[in-house]
Structure 1
Amino acid sequence: MTPRQQAFLARPFALGAEPAPQYPPVPVPTLLLASLLPPHVVAVESFGARGGDWRAGLHPAEIRAMAHAGDKRRREFAEVRVRARQALEALGEPPVALLPGPRGEPRWPHGVVGSMTHCAGYRAAAVARRSDGTAGLGVDAEPHAPLADGVLEMVADPAERAHLAALALLRPDVCWGRVLFSVKEAIFKAWYPLARRELDFLEARVRLSVDPGPEPAGGFRATVTVPGPLPAAAGRWRVAHGVIASAVEVPAAGP
């Protein structure tokens, strides 16, 4: 089992054992993920959970794909796909089914790249056209809470852990281990559709930066240590309303 798979298996214990976050009233629209991406990328996001029939707004093929799933999985699947379909509509795309691929990755329409994410109380999707210069996207959201014991050692190498310790002296109000986790998840979501293989947590080395000002936000740069289509990546992260969001856009190669 790879380190990333081990950490992923630890996530339900890290997240599921936590009480559900209590979110303050959020103005509409809330630009959390959208604030991390360039203007040609369309991001749609929502806080809270959608009530009613989970099938509302889904394509018939998506409903069939979830026929044997549990209620929690169905609602997560449905809510994030409703956001993705809204993003595609804003991009001018027809309402096609967004079925999962072999590793659970969404299958986007031809010429479109995208990424979805959800955590307790938050759903988001981002899409862009390849013709606008985007080769890949990766977005992730996590609750702003510490990682479970032992997970950081699977996510970060010693140099990264020392880096997080230094950041904690600068901003002790930020759950830096979870920020790093989210950033690496965003990188992996951008990597997989391009490389068609998974990336372990320790195969991406990340350095985080912090913006001046009171809000927890900043950038990141990453080096991928295995051969592949994404030797380096850069993006943004932000904490708002109890959620960590991170995003990376992979520009298309020049002529």
Structure 2
Amino acid sequence: MIRDLLPECVSGVDGREDVTAAGTLYPQEEAVIQAAVEKRRREFTTVRACARQAMAALGLAPAPVLPGPRGEPQWPAGVVGSMTHCLGYRAAALARTTHVRSLGIDAEPAEPLPDGVLEAVALPAEQDELAAARAADAQVPWDRLLFSAKESVYKTWFPLAHRMLDFSEARLSFHRTPGEATGGTFTARLLAHAPTVPPVFEGRWLVSDGIVLTAIVLPAGD
């Protein structure tokens, strides 16, 4: 599914089944995850298997993917990427820096957010727009879509700005693609300033097979 949201220059790999084979991780990765519970280990291992398949599609040798200080994936030189996982879904997207400056992907279950979460992540204007969107089409979990899109915004922002971005520091608007019932685009206007980051991100979204997916890709020229 993730490939449906990405341009040709981005290698995207996803899966619904976890990798369970021993020896899948590099020793450096094993050291990171050695004390984790089994659920976390499966997520960590499978999403890195997706990342290495994406590396191979770009003609790159497999390499470990270690978390940085904020948990962000650290990619080989000349590569940008993003990973995501939720219940029943894992995905990774990678590109060469000659084509893409930064990217972010996120996956969430296609169900409403828990009580109180929307108010914590959405601006008042966003809440009003989501209410109108929900009245027009209740099949899309608009609150979960907003949450996912803001996660993709953060994942795109952080490698460029190297600092945190609060949920309140991006103003999102969603758009439907003509003829597409369960997908479209979104615009994120950044309310925080960083000299290395453009003020507006454009992304794509999709709801399919019980999963909400969002993706942002900044071309190298942006």
TM-score, normalised relative to structure 2? 0.95
Aligned pair partner of 1:226 in 186, 192, 215: 192
Corresponding letter in the other structure for 2:168: L
Show the counterpart of 1:181. Answer: 147
Corresponding residue for residue 48 of structure 2: 81
Q: Which residue of 1 aligns with 2:75?
A: 108
CA contact (8 A) 1:237 1:245 kept: yes
The alignment status of 1:49 with 2:18, answered yes or no, reads yes
Q: Deviations over 1:128-166 (max 9, x none)?
A: 00112x100100000000001110011111110111111
Q: 2-side partners of 1:128 and 1:100: how far apart?
A: 18
* 2:180 maps to 1:237: no
Whole-Å Cα distance in 1 between the matches of residues 135 and 33 of structure 2? Answer: 45
Q: Could you give the per-residue CA deviations for residues 34-83 of structure 1, whole angstroms, max 9, x where no partner exists?
A: 11111110000011333x34x44222221122112221111111010000
Q: Which moved more, 1:161-170 or 1:102-111?
A: 161-170
Q: Aligned residue for 2:217?
A: 249
| Unmatched tracts of structure 2, length 5 or more | none
* 1:209 Cα deviation from its structure 2 partner: 0.6
1:127 to 2:125 alignment: no
Cα contact 2:156–2:216 (8 A) shared by 1: yes
**CA positional deviation for 1:93:** 1.0
Distance (whole Å) between structure 1 residues aligned to residue 32 and residue 152 of structure 2: 25
**Number of equivalences:** 220
Structure-1 residue corresponding to 2:7: 38
State the distance in 2 between where 1:202 and 1:251 align. Answer: 25
Query: What percentage of residue pairs aligned between the two structures are identical?
Result: 49
CA contact (8 A) 2:105 2:215 kept: yes
In structure 1, the partner of 2:114 is: 148
Is the 8 Å Cα contact of residues 18 and 43 (structure 2) preserved in structure 1?
no
**For 1:224 and 1:159, how far apart are their aligned partners in 2?**
14
